[in-house]
A and B are shown apart, each in its own frame.
Chain A
Amino acid sequence: MKSEVPMCDLIGIGIALLFLLALSALTVIGPSAGWKTIVSLAIAAAKLVLIVWFFMRLGRHRGLIRVFAAAGLCWLSLLLVLGFGDYLTR
């Protein structure tokens, strides 16, 4: 007994990810500029959201797993904000 595996959505997300990658690769056209960093990081963030939400199924999980996932990022930002804060105020 073999059941069908629904996978259209996964392939769709994959295509979206590749599209985002292409978009981000296209930013290299033209002279370098500050806005490009922001755009490429924003695109990376969008990719992360897609991967984490759909592939890692964060969207389907209950609160606890979301808290675990958020904890890592939250503590990373503590490190970056407080550590970097020292250098910015030298």
Chain B
Amino acid sequence: MSTYLDRPTVRSWLTTLDHKRIGLLYLFSITFFFTIAAAAAAAMRIALLSPSGDLVASDVYNRLFTTHGVLMVWFFLIPAVPNVLGNFLLPLMVGARDVAFPRLNLASWYVFMAGGFLVLYAILFGGVDTGWTFYTPYSSTYANGHVMLMAAGVFVSGFSSIFTGLNFIVTIHRLRAPGLTWFRLPLFVWGIYSTSIIMVLATPVLAATLLLMGLERAFGVGVFDPRIGGDPLLFQHLFWFYSHPAVYIMILPGMGVVSEIITCFSRKPVFGYKVMAFAILAIATLGFLVWGHHMFVSSESVFAGVVFSFLSFMVSVPSAVKVFNWTTTLMRGSIRMDTPLIYALGFVALFTIGGLTGLFLATLPVDVHVHGTYFVVAHFHYVMVGGMVMAYLGGVHYWFPKISGRLYPEMLARFAALTIFIGFNLTFFPQFILGYLGMPRRYSMYPPEFHALNVLSTAGASILGVGYLLPLIYLVWSFYRGRPAGPNPWKAKGLEWTVPSPPPEHNFDAIPTVTEEPYAYNPEEDP
């Protein structure tokens, strides 16, 4: 039987309109960018082994963390679940033959790559030392390096985000199979839908902000320029209007992935399905109202600080609802501790820590103490890496049999998942303590009393690195040599599991009609 992987010519891949192939194109691209960004992180951790920071000059160190931040945020975390798994799975999950605008989908990948190469060029020929946030007036006036090129790369890749988000929203609205009502959609689709809303409505503000910053740098005068009465803080407002919701672009589809995995491996329907769906939407909406908590100490008004602090606390309500519902779903399930579930449980644990420390940071007086320290670094790595990357890897493992038609070595995969979990905690938990003790972020040197904790963190990072390397090796191997998986190795529910693995190019021979409620699992059944 023919599958979407037939006809393996380069030309057919580069001109494909098949959402599954485009998903894989993204998979290769973001893995490439991830590798570079991870190498930058490794170099930083090695440099931080000694307090004197004599491995790399401060200037190089600044370029390293900018490279790491820009690539990880815009070229790995944001496209990871939506553009790889979302592209591959969304049409399968809603029972469609493709997304609503297949050509726009391919264009979005090319736009993404164009942005990526601009950024790579900027990194190779001098780098940028502003950090991923490009704060003015440093970025617009003082920074040396290819700020404009890098901002242009991010600007361009933003359009890829917008196109993909638009495509997904219209697909979910218009191309659902008969009988697939909104409340029969998998929670993964809800996650993708909410993420797409943010992509479509927040990304353009980032584009405008970077445009204004770039113009100011190009002409030596601009709207953030205090000499003519401009306010540099306006940049921060506009930047965080995008970049805080962007955090939810990263985490919401991860929550969708985790919901799929937990319900499948506990053989129970998701507890409180509708609440879960509304919680995702609520997080997406509330996420737009909290950006000011990045500016508590940058002369934002106290009143605005109080309002943003309060709104930030509100986000924790739907987030906590989700955590409780996942744990309740697990309760009395017949649990099978396979690799995807290990990742999903890792997500729940680490996301909870990341979320709770987020509340510390959203508290005005506490933030004054820990703002700009490693506490912040640890917090968002718990959410981004501990949460998002765990969910992404869990999803890649869960749907790998569908994507490749083959199984990976289970024991090795479990070992890798545990290695990542341990390595991650060893890397980032010490950073909470470092930050609480007052070690500022973004410095290549530090007082000797922080030495031990930094060595611990670097040791954890090397374990984490091994953990990431393992799946890279065995998944590639399994793609060609793994045991055939069959259409549904996990006995999972959902339309994507009703088609052969790997799926045929047109997905469904006949468009299915859905009559079943979502996640019709039965714990009594053979797990």
Contacts and interface: CB of A to CB of B under 8 A. Distances in A.
**Direct contact, A vs B (beta carbon within 8 Å):** yes
B107 interface: no
Contacts of A35: none
Contact of B292 (A71, A75, A82): A82
Contact of A78 (B197, B289, B301, B302): B289
B414 interface: no
B303 A75 contact: no
B237 to A, nearest CB: 5
B476 interface: no
Contact of B173 (A64, A71, A82): A64
B97 to A, nearest CB: 22
B300 A86 contact: yes
Nearest to A86: B304
B283 to A, nearest CB: 15
Interface in B279-321: 288-289, 291-292, 295, 299-304, 307-308
A2 interface: no
A71 B237 contact: no
A83 B301 contact: no
Contacts of B238: 83
A83 B231 CA distance: 13
Contact of B289 (A71, A82, A89, A90): A82
A85 interface: yes
A78 B244 CA distance: 14
B173 A78 contact: no
A78 B240 CA distance: 13
Given A64-B173, A78-B288, A78-B289, A83 B237 contact: yes
B49 to A, nearest CB: 41
A69 interface: no
Given A72-B201, A86-B292, A79 B301 contact: no
Given A64-B173, A75-B288, A78-B289, A89 B303 contact: yes
B304 A85 contact: yes
A79 B241 contact: yes
Interface in A39-76: 64, 71-72, 75
B459 interface: no
A54 to B, nearest CB: 24
B201 A71 contact: yes
B301 A86 contact: yes
Given A78-B288, A87-B301, A89-B304, 12 more contacts: A71-B201, A72-B201, A75-B202, A79-B205, A79-B241, A82-B304, A82-B307, A85-B303, A85-B304, A85-B307, A86-B300, A86-B304
27 contacts: A64-B173, A71-B197, A71-B201, A72-B201, A75-B202, A78-B288, A79-B205, A79-B241, A82-B291, A82-B292, A82-B307, A82-B308, A83-B237, A83-B238, A83-B241, A85-B303, A85-B304, A85-B307, A86-B292, A86-B295, A86-B301, A87-B301, A89-B301, A89-B303, A89-B304, A90-B299, A90-B301
A-B residue pairs, 5 tightest by C-beta: A86-B304, A89-B303, A89-B301, A75-B201, A90-B301
